[in-house]
Amino acid sequence: MSRKNFNIIGWILLLGMGASWIGFGYSNWYLLLTPMAYFSFSINDGSVKKLGKIKQMSLLQIFLILFAFIVSVGIVFGLIQLANYLINDIFHLTGVLKTLSVIIAVVFALYPVKFTFGSVIYKVINATR
């Protein structure tokens, strides 16, 4: 199959998930379809070939990445719980203001983890070169 076909497959999966989410609501199938769409786009842009660097990594580096991922998920979860506590229990926000606050809180909770986990990945990738 050509790379263009994988791009089309990725878009079909994403658009199909979006349409079925609007029509039928959330389903657990999205947990399977989202990575499939991601891998389709990855094959399209050639970033799957970059996964060959995993073979060059030591076991310690792989454990470091897994540990950094677990800590990152914990940080995001903690920040989102803190934001939930502030929005619901301290400020008692409702309506549109609550919705906007939740969206902003989630975005702000993801940025510190993006930088910390990204820096660990960057250091490990540079060490394998």
The sign of the dihedral angle between the CA atoms of 32, 35, 40, 11 is positive
Same domain, 121 and 68: yes
Q: Answer yes or no: do 34 and 68 share one domain.
A: no
- Among the listed residues 46, 27, 118, 114, the one whose alpha carbon sits nearest the alpha carbon of residue 79: 114
Collapsing DSSP to helix, strand or coil, 8 comes out as helix
Say yes or no: 114 and 61 in one domain.
yes
For 21-70, the pLDDT digits (tens) are 888 888 888 878 888 888 888 888 877 776 666 777 888 998 998 899 89
110 and 66 in a common domain? yes
Specify whether 69 is located in the same domain as 124.
yes
13 shares its domain with 67: no
> What percent of the chain stands above pLDDT 90?
35
Per mean pLDDT, which range of 11-15, 20-24, 78-82 is the poorest? Answer: 20-24
Q: Based on the structure, what is the number of domains in the chain?
A: 2
As a whole-number percent, the residues of the chain with pLDDT over 70 amount to 95
- Domain with 34, as residue range(s), is 1-48
Q: Are residues 30 and 69 in the same domain?
A: no
- Report the candidate in 125, 122, 121 with the shortest Cα–Cα distance to residue 53: 125
My answer on whether 101 and 78 are in the same domain is: yes
Rounded to 5 degrees, what angle do the CA atoms 73, 13, 104 make? 40
Residues 97 and 70 in one domain: yes
72 and 32: one domain?
Answer: no
Tokens of 46: 């050639």
pLDDT value of residue 51: 66
Note whether 35 and 66 are same-domain residues: no
Residue 100, pLDDT > 80, answer yes
Say if residue 2's pLDDT is above 70.
Answer: yes
Q: For every residue of 30-91, which 3-state class applies, written as one string?
A: HHHHHHHHHHHHHHHHCCCHHHHHHHHCCHHHHHHHHHHHHHHHHHHHHHHHHHHHHHHHHC
Here the contacts of 99-106 (C-beta below 8 Å, separation 24 or greater) are 105/79, 105/80, 106/80
- More confident: 46 or 6: 6
Please indicate, yes or no, whether residues 62 and 84 belong to a single structural domain of this protein: yes
Which pLDDT value is given to residue 89?
96
Tokens of 101: 């606050």
The rounded mean pLDDT for the chain is: 87
Q: What is the pLDDT of residue 78?
A: 93
The predicted structure's pLDDT at residue 116? 86
